[in-house]
Amino acid sequence: MNFSIETNLLAVAGITLLAVISPGPDFAVILRNALRSGRGPGLATALGIACGVVVHVTYTLLGLGWLVARYAWLLTAIRYAGAAYLVWLGCSALLSRREASGRPQAPAADARADLRQAFGNGFLCNILNPKTVLFFIALFTQVVAPGTPLAAQVGIGAYIVMAHLAWFAFVVLVLTNPAALRVFNNWRRAVERGVGGCLVALGVTLAIDN
Ligand SMILES: NC(=[NH2+])NCCC[C@H](N)C(=O)O
């Protein structure tokens, strides 16, 4: 088959958008952090996710995807670590006692710690998702390589990073606008429990799903 580079780029653009937008662990952790801690930590979570994607893009561009095929235990290890992390995030949302989203009067040091923690949540959640690992390997072996010029491959990587950042930042901005927060504040406990339950369910599914 002889796909033109334009066809390939369109395919990559479309496949990426679908993968980014379809709800999964990253989406759940964005919900958890934006609703719990507000806009700043929500955006820090989105940035963490995007940095996780930078890592996926980097090892894929370096041609290290074959490691996962060669050492199957690598993917298994990522899967169990990711599952445990999601269950932990979910349980902490289920058991959370925090008040008022965004905690406007939080001391500066607390606020910085919140941002760092939120960034780490997004980063780890993304990096430990075996489906994202497989997404990159499949995309770069089936659609991008081997004839695609390196500059185009780097451009595709940058596009995938930006697509994650833009989508998840957009979700955070929507969730933390005043109207949405008013609704959320009336249902705070239920929503936090619901999101926590989803995270635990995603973790358990990841652990038992082959
Ligand atoms: N290309 C990917 N698989 N990206 C990460 C997954 C994004 C997915 N929509 C989620 O919310 O978890």
* DSSP string for residues in 12-74: HHHHHHHHHHS-SHHHHHHHHHHHHH-HHHHHHHHHHHHHHHHHHHHHHHTT-THHHHH-HHH
Q: Is 159 close to ligand 1, i.e. is its CB under 6 Å away? A: no
- Is residue 129 in a domain? yes
Q: Is 41 close to ligand 1, i.e. is its CB under 6 Å away? A: no
- Is residue 57 in a domain? yes
Least confident of 8-12, 44-48, 163-167: 8-12
Distances (CA, A) of 75 to 53, 68, 95, 210: 16, 6, 30, 11
- Is residue 11 in a domain? no
* CA-nearest residue, atom 3 of ligand 1: 132
Residue 3's pLDDT is 54
Tokens of 109: 């040091």
Is the predicted pLDDT of residue 101 greater than 50, yes or no?
Answer: no
Distance 107 CA to ligand 1 centre (A): 33
CA 145, CA 59: separation in Å to the nearest integer?
14
* Count of domains forming the chain: 1
Residue 100 pLDDT grade (very low, low, confident, very high; cuts 50, 70, 90): very low
Is the predicted pLDDT of residue 98 greater than 80, yes or no?
Answer: no
Q: Which residue has the higher pLDDT, 107 or 95?
A: 95
Tokens of 157: 């990587």
Is the predicted pLDDT of residue 83 greater than 50, yes or no?
Answer: yes
pLDDT digits (tens, 9 = 90+) for 17-41: 999 999 999 999 999 999 989 999 9
* CA-nearest residue, atom 6 of ligand 1: 20
Provide mean pLDDT across the span 184-209.
Answer: 91
**What is the residue range of 152's domain?**
26-208
- Is residue 6 in a domain? no
Residue 145's pLDDT is 60
Which atom of ligand 1 is closest in space to residue 22's alpha carbon? 9
Q: Is 131 close to ligand 1, i.e. is its CB under 6 Å away? A: yes
Tell me what the pLDDT averaged over the chain comes to. 88
Q: Is 135 close to ligand 1, i.e. is its CB under 6 Å away? A: yes
Tokens of 194: 């619901």
pLDDT digits (tens, 9 = 90+) for 129-176: 999 999 998 888 777 766 778 888 899 999 999 999 999 999 999 999
Is the predicted pLDDT of residue 102 greater than 80, yes or no?
Answer: no
159 contact partners, CB below 8 Å, separation of at least 6: 12, 13, 16
Q: Is 33 close to ligand 1, i.e. is its CB under 6 Å away? A: no
Give the N- to C-terminal CA distance of the chain in Å, as an integer: 31
- Best of 17, 20, 54 for a ligand 1 pocket test (most atoms within 8 Å of beta carbon): 20
Sign of CA dihedral 160, 162, 30, 185: negative
- Is residue 77 in a domain? yes
Q: What percent of the chain has pLDDT over 90?
A: 58
Is the predicted pLDDT of residue 1 greater than 50, yes or no?
Answer: no
- Is residue 72 in a domain? yes
CA 48, CA 116: separation in Å to the nearest integer?
9
Residue 5's pLDDT is 64
- Is residue 74 in a domain? yes
- Is residue 49 in a domain? yes
